[in-house]
Amino acid sequence: DLQCSDSVPLFGYRRRSYLILSGLLGAISWSLMATVVDDKYSAALSIILGSLAVAFSDVVVDSMVVERARGESQSTSGSLQSLCWGSSAFGAIVSAYFSGSLVDTYGVRFVFGVTAFLPLMTSAVAVLVNEQRLCSEERSISLPSSGLIESSKQQIRQIWTAVKQPNIFLPTLFIFLWQATPQSDSAMFYFVYVPQTR
Protein backbone atom coordinates (compact mmCIF):
# COMPACT_ATOMS: atom_id res chain seq x y z
CA ASP A 1 0.00 0.00 0.00
CA LEU A 2 2.97 2.35 0.45
CA GLN A 3 3.89 1.65 -3.20
CA CYS A 4 0.29 2.49 -4.08
CA SER A 5 0.25 5.78 -2.15
CA ASP A 6 3.63 6.80 -3.61
CA SER A 7 2.76 5.91 -7.19
CA VAL A 8 -0.93 6.81 -7.34
CA PRO A 9 -1.62 10.12 -5.55
CA LEU A 10 -5.29 10.81 -4.89
CA PHE A 11 -6.56 14.36 -5.41
CA GLY A 12 -2.96 15.53 -5.65
CA TYR A 13 -1.80 14.11 -2.29
CA ARG A 14 0.28 11.02 -1.53
CA ARG A 15 -0.34 10.82 2.22
CA ARG A 16 -3.25 13.01 3.26
CA SER A 17 -5.83 11.52 0.88
CA TYR A 18 -4.97 7.92 1.85
CA LEU A 19 -5.24 8.73 5.56
CA ILE A 20 -8.66 10.34 5.03
CA LEU A 21 -9.80 7.33 2.98
CA SER A 22 -8.55 4.79 5.53
CA GLY A 23 -10.32 6.69 8.33
CA LEU A 24 -13.59 6.66 6.39
CA LEU A 25 -13.19 2.96 5.60
CA GLY A 26 -12.58 2.17 9.28
CA ALA A 27 -15.62 4.22 10.31
CA ILE A 28 -17.78 2.38 7.78
CA SER A 29 -16.61 -1.04 8.99
CA TRP A 30 -17.34 -0.29 12.66
CA SER A 31 -20.64 1.39 11.78
CA LEU A 32 -21.68 -1.79 10.00
CA MET A 33 -20.78 -3.78 13.10
CA ALA A 34 -22.91 -1.41 15.18
CA THR A 35 -25.97 -1.55 12.96
CA VAL A 36 -26.55 -4.19 10.28
CA VAL A 37 -24.09 -7.03 10.96
CA ASP A 38 -25.98 -10.05 12.23
CA ASP A 39 -24.15 -13.12 10.88
CA LYS A 40 -20.60 -14.42 10.79
CA TYR A 41 -19.99 -13.63 7.11
CA SER A 42 -20.94 -9.97 7.34
CA ALA A 43 -18.96 -9.74 10.60
CA ALA A 44 -15.90 -11.22 8.87
CA LEU A 45 -16.27 -8.76 5.98
CA SER A 46 -16.53 -5.81 8.39
CA ILE A 47 -13.49 -6.98 10.34
CA ILE A 48 -11.49 -7.37 7.11
CA LEU A 49 -12.45 -3.82 6.05
CA GLY A 50 -11.43 -2.49 9.47
CA SER A 51 -8.12 -4.35 9.36
CA LEU A 52 -7.44 -3.04 5.86
CA ALA A 53 -8.09 0.52 7.05
CA VAL A 54 -5.74 0.09 10.02
CA ALA A 55 -3.01 -1.49 7.86
CA PHE A 56 -3.21 1.30 5.28
CA SER A 57 -3.12 4.12 7.81
CA ASP A 58 -0.34 2.41 9.79
CA VAL A 59 1.95 2.09 6.77
CA VAL A 60 1.25 5.64 5.59
CA VAL A 61 1.94 7.07 9.06
CA ASP A 62 5.13 5.00 9.35
CA SER A 63 6.32 6.44 6.03
CA MET A 64 5.55 9.95 7.29
CA VAL A 65 7.57 9.30 10.46
CA VAL A 66 10.50 8.04 8.38
CA GLU A 67 10.33 11.10 6.12
CA ARG A 68 10.18 13.42 9.12
CA ALA A 69 13.05 11.64 10.90
CA ARG A 70 15.30 11.71 7.81
CA GLY A 71 18.00 14.30 8.27
CA GLU A 72 17.31 14.68 12.00
CA SER A 73 19.69 13.63 14.75
CA GLN A 74 19.45 10.10 16.11
CA SER A 75 18.00 11.30 19.43
CA THR A 76 15.30 13.34 17.68
CA SER A 77 14.28 10.51 15.36
CA GLY A 78 14.28 8.10 18.32
CA SER A 79 12.05 10.47 20.28
CA LEU A 80 9.63 10.61 17.36
CA GLN A 81 9.41 6.81 17.20
CA SER A 82 8.99 6.65 20.98
CA LEU A 83 6.16 9.18 20.81
CA CYS A 84 4.39 7.11 18.14
CA TRP A 85 4.71 3.81 19.99
CA GLY A 86 3.91 5.42 23.35
CA SER A 87 0.73 6.98 21.95
CA SER A 88 -0.32 3.65 20.49
CA ALA A 89 0.29 1.84 23.79
CA PHE A 90 -1.59 4.53 25.74
CA GLY A 91 -4.59 4.20 23.39
CA ALA A 92 -4.55 0.41 23.76
CA ILE A 93 -4.51 0.67 27.57
CA VAL A 94 -7.34 3.19 27.67
CA SER A 95 -9.52 1.19 25.28
CA ALA A 96 -8.82 -2.06 27.16
CA TYR A 97 -9.76 -0.41 30.46
CA PHE A 98 -13.03 1.17 29.33
CA SER A 99 -14.31 -1.27 26.70
CA GLY A 100 -15.31 -4.00 29.17
CA SER A 101 -17.33 -1.71 31.41
CA LEU A 102 -18.96 0.02 28.43
CA VAL A 103 -20.01 -3.34 26.97
CA ASP A 104 -21.37 -4.35 30.37
CA THR A 105 -23.35 -1.12 30.75
CA TYR A 106 -24.48 -0.24 27.22
CA GLY A 107 -24.04 -3.37 25.12
CA VAL A 108 -21.85 -4.45 22.24
CA ARG A 109 -23.50 -2.43 19.47
CA PHE A 110 -23.06 0.79 21.42
CA VAL A 111 -19.32 0.13 21.81
CA PHE A 112 -19.02 -0.59 18.08
CA GLY A 113 -20.82 2.69 17.39
CA VAL A 114 -18.43 4.62 19.63
CA THR A 115 -15.50 2.84 18.00
CA ALA A 116 -16.75 4.00 14.57
CA PHE A 117 -16.00 7.61 15.56
CA LEU A 118 -12.32 6.89 16.30
CA PRO A 119 -11.23 6.32 12.66
CA LEU A 120 -12.97 9.59 11.80
CA MET A 121 -10.43 11.28 14.06
CA THR A 122 -7.73 9.95 11.71
CA SER A 123 -9.55 11.53 8.76
CA ALA A 124 -9.96 14.83 10.62
CA VAL A 125 -6.31 14.98 11.68
CA ALA A 126 -5.17 14.02 8.17
CA VAL A 127 -6.50 17.35 6.92
CA LEU A 128 -3.82 19.02 9.08
CA VAL A 129 -0.97 16.99 7.53
CA ASN A 130 1.59 19.36 6.05
CA GLU A 131 1.93 18.06 2.50
CA GLN A 132 2.42 19.94 -0.74
CA ARG A 133 -0.21 19.27 -3.37
CA LEU A 134 1.29 17.77 -6.53
CA CYS A 135 0.95 19.75 -9.72
CA SER A 136 -0.78 18.12 -12.69
CA GLU A 137 2.55 17.27 -14.40
CA GLU A 138 3.79 15.39 -11.33
CA ARG A 139 0.49 13.56 -11.09
CA SER A 140 0.70 12.41 -14.70
CA ILE A 141 4.28 11.21 -14.11
CA SER A 142 3.17 9.20 -11.07
CA LEU A 143 0.25 7.49 -12.76
CA PRO A 144 1.49 5.31 -15.67
CA SER A 145 0.00 1.89 -14.95
CA SER A 146 2.59 -0.13 -16.89
CA GLY A 147 5.41 1.43 -14.85
CA LEU A 148 3.52 0.74 -11.63
CA ILE A 149 2.97 -2.90 -12.57
CA GLU A 150 6.60 -3.41 -13.59
CA SER A 151 7.83 -1.70 -10.43
CA SER A 152 5.53 -3.88 -8.31
CA LYS A 153 6.74 -7.05 -10.04
CA GLN A 154 10.36 -6.05 -9.49
CA GLN A 155 9.74 -5.36 -5.81
CA ILE A 156 7.99 -8.71 -5.37
CA ARG A 157 10.96 -10.48 -7.01
CA GLN A 158 13.39 -8.64 -4.70
CA ILE A 159 11.31 -9.52 -1.62
CA TRP A 160 11.15 -13.18 -2.68
CA THR A 161 14.93 -13.25 -3.26
CA ALA A 162 15.46 -11.95 0.26
CA VAL A 163 12.80 -14.06 1.97
CA LYS A 164 13.85 -17.40 0.49
CA GLN A 165 17.23 -17.21 2.24
CA PRO A 166 17.16 -19.66 5.19
CA ASN A 167 18.36 -17.10 7.76
CA ILE A 168 15.31 -14.94 6.91
CA PHE A 169 12.77 -17.59 5.92
CA LEU A 170 13.01 -19.79 9.02
CA PRO A 171 12.56 -17.00 11.62
CA THR A 172 9.72 -15.56 9.50
CA LEU A 173 8.05 -18.97 9.34
CA PHE A 174 8.42 -19.36 13.11
CA ILE A 175 6.85 -15.94 13.79
CA PHE A 176 4.02 -16.64 11.34
CA LEU A 177 3.23 -20.02 12.95
CA TRP A 178 3.50 -18.52 16.44
CA GLN A 179 1.05 -15.71 15.60
CA ALA A 180 -1.28 -17.93 13.52
CA THR A 181 -1.80 -20.68 16.09
CA PRO A 182 -4.64 -20.31 18.62
CA GLN A 183 -3.65 -19.20 22.10
CA SER A 184 -5.47 -19.27 25.39
CA ASP A 185 -4.98 -15.55 26.10
CA SER A 186 -8.51 -14.43 25.20
CA ALA A 187 -10.18 -17.31 27.03
CA MET A 188 -8.00 -16.74 30.10
CA PHE A 189 -8.69 -12.99 30.04
CA TYR A 190 -12.43 -13.67 29.84
CA PHE A 191 -12.28 -16.21 32.67
CA VAL A 192 -10.26 -13.94 34.98
CA TYR A 193 -11.90 -10.57 34.35
CA VAL A 194 -15.50 -11.23 33.29
CA PRO A 195 -17.79 -12.06 36.22
CA GLN A 196 -18.84 -15.68 36.04
CA THR A 197 -22.22 -16.98 37.16
CA ARG A 198 -21.46 -20.16 38.99
pLDDT score of 28? 93
Residue 15 to residue 77: CA distance in whole angstroms: 20
With a cut of 50, list the residues of the chain below it in pLDDT: 2, 139-141, 143, 197-198
Quick one: the chain helix, strand, coil %, rounded to 5? 80, 0, 20
- DSSP one-letter code for 11: T
Domain boundaries, the chain: 2-133, 144-198
* pLDDT number for residue 11: 65
* pLDDT in the model for residue 111: 84
pTM: 0.64
